[in-house]
Amino acid sequence: MRHFIPTAFAVATAAAASFISPVAQAADISGAGATFPYPIYAKWADAYKKETGNGLNYQSIGSGGGVKQIKAKTVTFGATDAPLKGEDLEASGLAQFPMVMGGIVPVVNIEGVDPGELVLDGKTLADIFMGKITSWDDAAIKKLNPDSKLPSQAIAVVHRSDGSGTTYNFAYYLGETSPEWKEKVGVNSALEWPVGIGAKGNEGVANNVKQAAGAIGYVEYAYAKQNKMIYADMINKDGKKVEPTAASFSAAAANAKWDSQPGYGVILANQPGAESWPMTAATWILVYKKPDDAAATAEALKFFDWSYKNGAKMANELDYVPMPEAVVKSVEDMWKKDVVGKDGKSLFAAK
């Protein structure tokens, strides 16, 4: 796992909880927030730096931190996996748009269990994270895995300790599949967890799961893949067993009505469809509609435009799903209309 890409992408990993920054160039873009899209933002930033000479300084500190920093106007853009509601966007003067989609996966550290061998469903996952299921040979898990030799091993739950859009989407899914979860734990970017130990960022959860025997956590799929972690397959809303892949993430997003929510704030968890991954999620960017630093926001929009137009292959390589062309067009039309300088002129010049 690379935590620092020199000159192109200065990142404060949640695990280190510090911002490592080179000397910022005048054209560098500053952002902070979600750890979910960190791998693809890093890859895009590296390629963009090589092509344009312009860098991206991004703090991977979690969605909650990203929202706080953009509202404090300490960065050019914020990044969040938990979309802000329309009234919050309006009150803050912010524009919100989705950049990319991916999947959240349960990751485990169980002796003798290979990737994709373990199968879970939403209710069982909720019961594990509520502390109702405490051993890997529990009857509910064995029922879903009749051919697996699961050990009589205590389950060590690992969850996010920071304000996290990954948590929001994970909790949203558990709430959709378990009324008890929705009532007792709820859906938010920060939770009062019934059991388990907390870790900062997708990076922190991944590291803790790798180190603790019998552990289970939840991370963005690219982290699981890059760290060669053992992940579970899932039973989806249609009762079908599915694997986490770009195709199953795409299937979940296929029928999303992006313009149905302010700021394109559509939650993709627990979508119908035989091939849909049940914990699919989008990630959003926040910029001011009338920013104090118009030049910096204009540079940021150039980067996002470049990423939409040139980043699909890189996204696919990391098992993210690019935004559909129709959504990109809608977003860029919004930029032209809503993101303006003090003179009222658009800060986005389409190429």
Residues 64-114 have pLDDT tens digits of 999 999 999 999 999 999 999 999 999 999 999 999 999 999 999 998 888
The total of structural domains in the chain comes to 2
Instruction: Mark whether 136 and 66 lie in a shared domain.
Output: no
One-letter amino acid of 310: N
DSSP bridge pairs for 9: 5, 56
Q: Which residue range(s) make up the domain with 39?
A: 9-102+280-338
- Provide the token pair at 238: 């249609």
If you search the block for the tokens 């994970």, which residue do you land on?
170
Beta strands in the chain (DSSP E): 9-10, 29-33, 56-60, 77-80, 94-109, 119-120, 156-160, 197-199, 215-220, 230-231, 233-235, 241-242, 280-288, 321-322
Q: What is the percent of the chain with per-residue pLDDT over 70, rounded to a whole number?
A: 92
End of a domain among 254, 271, 291?
254
Does residue 49 carry a pLDDT above 80?
yes
pTM: 0.85
Q: How far apart are CA 218 and CA 160, in angstroms?
A: 9
211 and 165, same domain (yes or no): yes
**How do strand 94-109 and strand 321-322 relate by DSSP bridges?**
antiparallel
If asked whether residues 228 and 98 sit together in one domain, one would say no
In a shared domain, residues 19 and 42: yes
Question: Mean of the pLDDT values across residues 224-230?
Answer: 90
Residue 342 to residue 347: CA distance in whole angstroms: 10
* 103 token code pair: 């999947």
In this prediction, residue 178 has a pLDDT band, given cuts at 50, 70 and 90, of very high
pLDDT tens track for 280-290: 999 999 999 99
Instruction: Identify the domain boundary among 202, 219, 254.
Output: 254
Distance CA 241, CA 75 (A): 42
Bridge-based pairing of strands 119-120 and 197-199 is unpaired
Using the predicted structure, report yes or no on whether residue 124 has a pLDDT greater than 90. yes
Identity of the residue numbered 129: F
C-alpha span between 240 and 242 (Å, rounded): 6
What's the whole-number average pLDDT of the chain? 90
CATH at residue 210: 3.40.190.10
Three-class secondary structure of residue 278 per DSSP = coil
Residues 153, 236 within the same domain = yes
Phi (first) and psi of residue 326, to 5 degrees: -65, -35
- Using 50, 70 and 90 to split pLDDT, how confident is the model at 350? low
pLDDT at 187 over 80: yes
- What is the arithmetic mean of pLDDT over 219-225? 90
Calculate mean pLDDT across residues 260-280: 95
Residue type, 335: W
In this structure, the answer to whether residues 26 and 68 fall within a common structural domain is yes
Q: Is the pLDDT of residue 273 over 50?
A: yes
Residue type, 83: P
What pLDDT is stored for residue 351 in this prediction? 55
User: What is residue 149's predicted lDDT score, i.e. its pLDDT?
Assistant: 86
Could you give phi then psi for residue 243, rounded to 5 degrees?
Answer: -100, 155
Would you say residue 71 lies in a domain?
yes
Q: Are residues 65 and 114 in the same domain?
A: no
